[in-house]
A and B are shown apart, each in its own frame.
Chain A
């Protein structure tokens, strides 16, 4: 076999390898982008900086309340700017975030003070993403953690079921205390 034929075959082989490599790369990129598109991030993000948002109202739920087991303690509601529009207009725009911050209480000599944070409940308004639950996404973060999520799918459905009777107030219970 003449040398130049051998060289020609080697070049062809290298070309084929390059084609296979490029094709595999393309498949990888396509799979990755499709998977990230098919699995939209439905997770409600931690409401970073909510303590500097507007304080809406406060309630203390004591042992005599039937809600004590689930919600016992002192809770504050905080709203970001868009959610404040919602309180004023009755309809919460996309991007509204409401925080239900639940604290333990410490009683001493007739004074009930705030104790450690029990959890941070969050409602995020995104009409399309959360179309099945009134446009609101629900989540609850444990204690001071920004990553430890407390709700599974059933838990989130339970949130919505309880908020559902408030439909004419866009599923929100609280009212802004002036």
Chain B
């Protein structure tokens, strides 16, 4: 009995914080999406699912994933492989530069995106102008056709460092002899890379994939600070839409529906991560 009490004590602080401020609100979010004045309704769901602005936001999250996921993972892997090469002098400094996107607050990341894509102020429009693409010499975040793209490119810049570190730690666990043995057997570097290194990096791929996917769904700060989802709703995403529904439209029912959708999409990768993290110890 005493034992049980002392065991419970170890969990009491965590429970005391989690139950009122995480577990109960999570339950409430789901409840609020289904109830209007204590009567069950799916009205909010039909409102949200039928409105073009939600479909538009979901589409933007999808575009974000389609572009950002492969690019940030391939770049992260390439940088990790390149920069583990001992012949490169100062590779740790370059690694630190790429990783800094992970350290800077997302709000600063958002300002940096606006800054870098602003005509006359930032480097990106200048770059396209000097390459002859004069139509892209404009403030990207201010035009519907480029706003989302500029945010996605910026988020690749911010996030690739994470994937690079994941693959670097994965590579560090692969014994050098594996690659060397394959080379002695006459395999080319490319063959070694695709047939030996890549399969051994499977756990790193899984972590990078799941974490990046969640990051793309949770995108809020970058969009809210850089464009507020605009111009119009050209860069609106689901997480910002939750905020817009709740605090611009005061439509709490619709906001919780959007939140539930977000939870539902995040649930599968979250459970996969939970399995990975729980199993391994």
**Are A and B physically bound partners?**
no
**A residues apposed to B, CB below 8 Å:** none
